[in-house]
Amino acid sequence: MAFFFLPFFVIILNFSPSTNAGYWPPSPGYYPSTKFRSMSFYDGYRNLWGPNHQSLQNNALTIWLDHSSGSGFKSVKPFRSGYFGASIKLQPGYTAGVITAFYLSNSEAHPGYHDEVDIEFLGTTFGKPYTLQTNVYIRGSGDGKIIGREMKFHLWFDPTRNFHHYAILWSPKEIIFLVDDVPIRRYPRKSVATFPLRPMWVYGSIWDASSWATEDGKYKADYRYQPFVGRFTNFKASGCSAYAPPRCHPVSASPARSGGLSARQYMTMKWVQNHYMVYNYCKDHKRDHSLTPECWR
């Protein structure tokens, strides 16, 4: 009897938010990635660390992690606003404990008191989907006592099969996270205290975060499966650099030059959050929301 019911039990266990995979979001009606030109890697970026774990071919950058090192890259110049994107392809199979990241930060300029805006792919185990984590840190909330503002998603496609475009739109009034031009999260500026305003650089990296990356550290990086590889291409970084004159106008992710999202984009974002969001820090009752006032203001 137990043997008969086992396959059915396994099927039931697999019905999680990720079983929506294959249900594609409605069209957002606007495609900001088409408004910004692509650049070659060396036009905008340089190796930051792990130079022997980086390879560039036909403007496609491969970075990898093994038992000796990971790797990372950084934009040549800092920005105070802009659209920052890259097409990324992830490694299939066992990648637990491994983070592949594309993000904004000023940690080198402000060590111990930095700002950061993250797109992070949290590695996984066989048969389970990647989790895309978005996060925002403000003035040291990512240093010492961590105060994260995480929203996590599964994706409506397999990110290991093809390149997909992931982007951050950062302006003085909002941060918008996009996947293939679909907005998945908007983080508005509600106060100076809860929004990053200092110039940041653009980074990409792959590294071992076994202590927390996969199911809160339950599964660690297993170097029997090394190297762990991330591939990046179609780099975009357009906006106001830190050296631009004050008249430089922030870019927009919507048809409106003033920013925000169109009604159709907003509807698409809510659809994604209803179908594919698996964690929202503002809904986590274990969190001290006096530290994240944007959740209730």
- Whether 174 is a known active-site residue: answer no
The burial of 3, by beta-carbon neighbours within 10 Å (0-12 exposed, 13-18 middle, 19 or more buried), is given as exposed
Closest CA to 248 of 172, 165, 187: 172
Q: Three-class SS of residue 139?
A: coil
* Helix or strand holding residue 263 (H, E): helix 263-276
The yes-or-no answer on residue 116 being catalytic is: yes
Q: Using CA atoms, how far apart are residues 110 and 37, in angstroms rounded to an integer?
A: 30
For 211, counting Cβ atoms within 10 Å of its Cβ (0-12 exposed, 13-18 middle, 19+ buried), the class is: exposed
Nearest CA to 155 among 187, 188, 116, 122? Answer: 122
**If we measure between CA atoms, which residue out of 33, 8, 57, 51 comes closest to residue 231?**
57
Q: How far apart are CA 48 and CA 283, in angstroms?
A: 36
Beta bridge partners of 102: 119, 204
Candidates 116, 174, 215, 294; catalytic one: 116
Catalytic residue among 120, 150, 174, 294: 120
Is there a contact between 281 and 149 (Cβ–Cβ < 8 Å)?
Answer: yes
**Separation between Cα atoms, residue 75 and residue 201, nearest integer Å:** 6
**How many C-beta atoms lie closer than 10 Å to residue 103's C-beta?**
21
Catalytic residues: 116, 120
